[in-house]
Structure 1
Amino acid sequence: MANEAVNPHTMPIAPVYIKLGVFALLMAVWQGFAMLLDVPDLPSLTQTLQALYYHTHEGDLINNVLITLARVLISFILAMLIGSIFGIAMGSKAWFNNISESLLIILLNIPALVVIILSYIWIGLVEAAAILAVVINKVPTVAVMLREGARTTDTKLAQVAKVYQLSWYRFMHAVYLPQLYPFFLASARNGLSLIWKIVLVVELLGRSDGVGFALYSMFQFFDIAGILAYTMVFIGVVFVIELVCFKPFDLRIQRGR
């Protein structure tokens, strides 16, 4: 029937093959162009895979990726937590939005590089400065998304919850937060992509480990195959996070609708 709910576990798997086909096509185009041009500045797929094997077994690729992942995770959690609190408060309280909006606009438009440099100058070349720089850069974008989400919540549902005298926890868990789940997911996806990039810049400028530091070292030696190898791992980790963390949450939101 038309109204029958779609079970995500029974959905056709053709999209999976389409995605794999597109990925295989991109790899084939890469290999073909590299073989056709035959220049040192564009390593082939096979050369990149050889570099990946070398950096994995002989280099510090795994260690650097784990260090960067730890920084990304800590920064992501802090940015989502702080940004969500401020965003929801700004969206639900007009007076708080009026007070905070100017500061939010300023933070949104300060270049990330400026925040990173000032953090290192004022705090020092320490881990706390690196994490703080990433969090400051990401909190405003999370706050903006959650502010818009809080503004779109249904006030009638809140009135019904008040009539039935729901507890604060029950109201937040069953009525209020579910309306914000799509905005949480959007800000999380956007935040992860942005935090990855900022963390690499932070590591490049002021850390002696991590993927950013490794990329800078390979840049000095023009190790393009190594740079592409790290990039492949970088993209692979993001895909795993998407499939393991974000996709199940997305399916849950779709079922809730």
Structure 2
Amino acid sequence: MNALLNNGLFRRVISVIILLIIWKIVAALIGDETILPSPNNVAESIKYHASAELFHHVYITLLRVFAAFFLAMFIGSAIGIAMGRREKLDDYFDGWLILALNVPALVTIILCFIWFGLNEVAAILAVAINKIPTVTVILREGTKALNEKLIDVGKIYNLKRSEIVKEILIPQLYPYFISAARSGLALIWKIVLVVELLGRSNGVGFKINEFFSMFDTTSILAYTLVFVFIIMSIEWFLVKPIEKKLTEWRL
């Protein structure tokens, strides 16, 4: 028994079971499916929608999530590293960065739809623009925390600039890339749902808005839980293994 209690996976499973039990009890006490449906009814709703269009809309939303994610990571990382390595650049654009961090996501989404129209380009740009400042901050701070002595050693051994970047600079930034990626996934998919709710005719956000108009809480939770499960699976089976692999050198 002690061996089981010391097993991390076992504790996580028990935690989920406890959550489901609490959910079931609270739903029974409320007794109103419109407010909080039971886990059993949500599971039945998932089965029902899975035979129809659930996974089509989930697939569309995932495409938008990954398109915006990679765009934000690429641009944000480049800007963050540049600001971290160039003090003057950081001084010039720090105010811009603070401004970008404080612009509400809803404002950015609406402006992108006004400027570029109700299309995929506007949708993906709106999401990416909301995430780029956060990635920039994380990579800027990571770049400032680099061990300059290691870079100096590379120069002593006459390493090329590209070799210093590849072998010394980038490996030190791996934890910051992972941190930006992890927070990025958590934030981007939520913004994508808002974008779909406001200006797209497909995707999870669009369907949630449709169910909202019918006060169908069960279907809202069904779509939400399926998508959350997929995002959590990406975190567990993709992001964490990559993080472990990239940070092995630090052990």
TM-score by length of 2: 0.94
Aligned to 2:157: 164
* Paired residue type of 1:188: A
Deviation by residue 1:183-209 (Cα, 9 ceiling, x = unmatched): 111111111111011100000000000
Aligned to 1:107: 100
Aligned positions of 1:111-150 closer than 5 A? 111-150=104-143
Instruction: Give the one of 27, 42, 59 matched to 1:48.
Output: 42
Aligned to 2:231: 238
Pairwise CA distance, 1:256:
2.1
Aligned to 1:26: 19
CA distance in 1, matches of 2:232, 2:66: 15
Deviation by residue 1:94-132 (Cα, 9 ceiling, x = unmatched): 111112112111111111100100110111101100011
* Paired residue type of 1:226: S
Instruction: Give the one of 176, 185, 203 matched to 1:192.
Output: 185
For the 8 Å contact 2:174–2:247, the answer to whether it is kept is: no
Aligned to 1:216: 209
For the 8 Å contact 2:84–2:141, the answer to whether it is kept is: yes
Q: After the TM superposition, which segments of 4 or more aligned residues of structure 1 sit over 6 Å from their partners?
A: none
CA distance in 2, matches of 1:29, 1:154: 48
CA distance in 1, matches of 2:23, 2:191: 27
Aligned to 1:5: none
Deviation by residue 1:9-45 (Cα, 9 ceiling, x = unmatched): xxx9800010011011101111122123211221100
Aligned to 1:256: 249
For the 8 Å contact 2:131–2:184, the answer to whether it is kept is: yes
Paired residues in the alignment total 245
Pairwise CA distance, 1:253:
4.5
- More displaced 10-residue stretch of structure 1: 79-88 or 177-186: 177-186
Aligned CA-pair RMSD: 1.3
TM-score by length of 1: 0.92
Percentage identity across aligned positions? 45
Deviation by residue 1:60-107 (Cα, 9 ceiling, x = unmatched): 110000000000000000000000000000011011111211211111
CA distance in 1, matches of 2:102, 2:69: 20
Aligned to 2:55: 62
Deviation by residue 1:170-190 (Cα, 9 ceiling, x = unmatched): 222221111111111111111
* Paired residue type of 2:149: K
- More displaced 10-residue stretch of structure 1: 29-38 or 178-187: 29-38
